[in-house]
Structure 1
Amino acid sequence: MRKKKVALLVTKEHHCLGDILLRNYFNTLGADVQCVIGNYDTLQPLTEKFDIPFHHIAHEEKEKHLFELEILETLAQYEFDYIILAKFMRILSPEFMSKYPARIVNIHHSFLPAFVGANPYKQAYERGVKVIGATAHFVTNVLDDGPIIAQQTISVNHTHSVKDMIRLGREIEKSVLANALQLVLQDKVLVYHNKTIVFEN
């Protein structure tokens, strides 16, 4: 099987990117990371430690279509099979996503369909949930509603603060994204309408 190639989009959080870069370095990712694109330069030093090209494309004081056009122009320099949103905290337009149908994988910091959008751990804390989780899914035009690839949960209780939930959630996010990427990169995921068929054996 041909080894897949991936491009990563990031913002400021390092945990998912760091996990992917380590797996890539030790050849356990199942793919080759071609580049990392960040809307902040926060993660540039980490990326360059692994000799991976980093492109800083700022979104601030810039119209969304121009921001996305710069990303597309940068991506056009590389060959890749999938785009991985490794905690990329920007909502992509339908026009952008239409160029890569079922080829953009996102990690969302909640057990979807619960707590869609921003600040899910705060939402979970305020709701008093007993489990929190993370979901890896393909990106579609509807926010955090794409076909689900993998999910995982962990128990919490009244003693956990929002910060505790965020800390625990980051560990789950890394694990779920790694699991999802392994499945996708090994061609074990089929998309059917808004669902996936996953062959885990």
Structure 2
Amino acid sequence: MTKHILLMEGPDAKGLIFHVTKVLYKNECNIIRQDEYVSPSGQFFMRTEFEGQNELNLSKVLSDLRERVPDERIKFRTNPKKKKDVVILCTKEHHCLSDLITRFHFNELEANVLAVVSNYDILEPYVSKFDIPFHKVSHEGLSREDHEKEVLKVIAQYQPEYLVLAKYMRILTPVFVEQFPNKIVNIHHSFLPAFIGANPYRQAHERGVKIIGATAHFVNNDLDDGPIIAQDVKNVSHRFTAKDMSREGKDVEKMVLTKALKLVFNDRVFIHDNRTIIL
């Protein structure tokens, strides 16, 4: 038996769950888990995890679903339940990168880390310990556009399903982002939408906040404004300097990024109107 995930979204209508379960039963599939949500605006979302015979024809499953649910506004897609192929981008900071690679090494991350790309070589010695290809693509002397072209050439070698920005301190251009729509996950070191942009811990310290946080989100063309996947916070006090906040915040960043990636890699995240629905 092989496991698959069926994702469905569109305007809510009577009988949608019945039609899906009927088709899966007809194709001799067994439903392992099913989650649904209807938004206040009437948008329906469903994630169904199921298993079928090794020779299961997924094209027929989708065809049968379309026959029973002819409304083209309702979208279906199936994914095999497997690890996702990813490339990690980083700069100088190690905490998020090292956490992800360690989890990958011990099979705690639902992903295959195919390579690490950085504009510095500072983290290469660490990455090499895990026999993961490391590519330095320096930005020195290059325009942002030309640097991204070189980065894209490296990424193209691996054909990843997702890019993970593990403290990649470069603003991506729209041309780069459009190559991976809703496939780039970033960790931002603040509780968005507060303290967008650079130096959020300094901003937080100057504002006298009592909590600091981190946000994992998909990347779009608006700085730090992509759909939010996961967030968390940590209490601080007036005794904390900006440096203290930065040090404490790194633990939150690691935890939030890992949580978000587990949700994404398990196909639990829908995107609708720049928001996420997580099932």
- The question of 1:168 aligning with 2:248 is answered yes
1:35 aligns with 2:115: yes
| Contiguous gaps of at least 5 residues in structure 2 | 1-80
Of 45, 48, 70, 2:125 maps to: 45
In 2, Cα distance between equivalents of 1:105 and 1:36: 14
Match of 1:87, SS? Answer: coil
2:7 aligns with none
- What does the per-residue CA deviation read over 1:7-26, in whole Å, with 9 as the maximum and x for residues that have no partner? 00000000000000000000
The number of residue pairs the alignment matches comes to 199
Whichever residue aligns with residue 172 of structure 1, its letter is V
Aligned to 2:236: 156
SS at match of 2:237: coil
How many angstroms does 1:188 deviate by? 0.5
SS of the residue 2:147 aligns to: helix
Specify the code of the residue in structure 1 equivalent to 2:154.
Answer: T
Which residue number in structure 2 is paired with residue 56 of structure 1?
A: 136
Aligned partner of 2:172: which letter?
L
Unpaired runs of at least 5, structure 1? none
Structure 1 stretch displaced more, 73-82 or 84-93: 73-82
Secondary structure at the counterpart of residue 204 of structure 2: helix
Task: Find runs of 4+ consecutive structure 1 residues off by over 2 angstroms.
Answer: none
Q: Equivalent residue of 1:35, what SS?
A: strand
Q: Which has the higher strand share?
A: 2
Residue number in structure 1 paired with 2:55: none
User: Matches of 1:2 and 1:133 in 2, distance apart?
Assistant: 31
Distance, in Å, in 2 between the alignment partners of 1:107 and 1:34 is 19
State the alpha-carbon separation in 1 of the partners of residues 160 and 107 from structure 2.
17
Query: For 2:271 and 2:169, how far apart are their aligned partners in 1?
Result: 24
> How far is the alpha carbon of 1:79 from its aligned partner?
2.5
1:13 aligns with 2:100: no
Secondary structure, aligned partner of 1:133 = strand
Q: What's the RMSD between the two structures over aligned residues?
A: 0.6
Q: Deviations over 1:53-73 (max 9, x none)?
A: 000000121111110000110
Counterparts of 2:197 and 2:143, CA distance in 1: 21
Query: 1:51-105: per-residue Cα shift (whole Å, max 9, x none)?
Result: 0000000012111111000011001100211000000000000010001000000
- TM-score scaled by length of structure 2: 0.71
Contact 2:216 2:256 in 1 (8 A): yes
Greater CA drift, 57-66 or 29-38 = 57-66
Per-residue CA deviation, residues 87-140 of structure 1 (Å, 9 max, x unaligned), is 000000001000100000000000000000000000000000011000000000
Corresponding residue of 1:79: 159
Partner SS state of residue 116, structure 2:
strand
Equivalence for 2:191: 111
Q: Match of 1:132, SS? A: strand
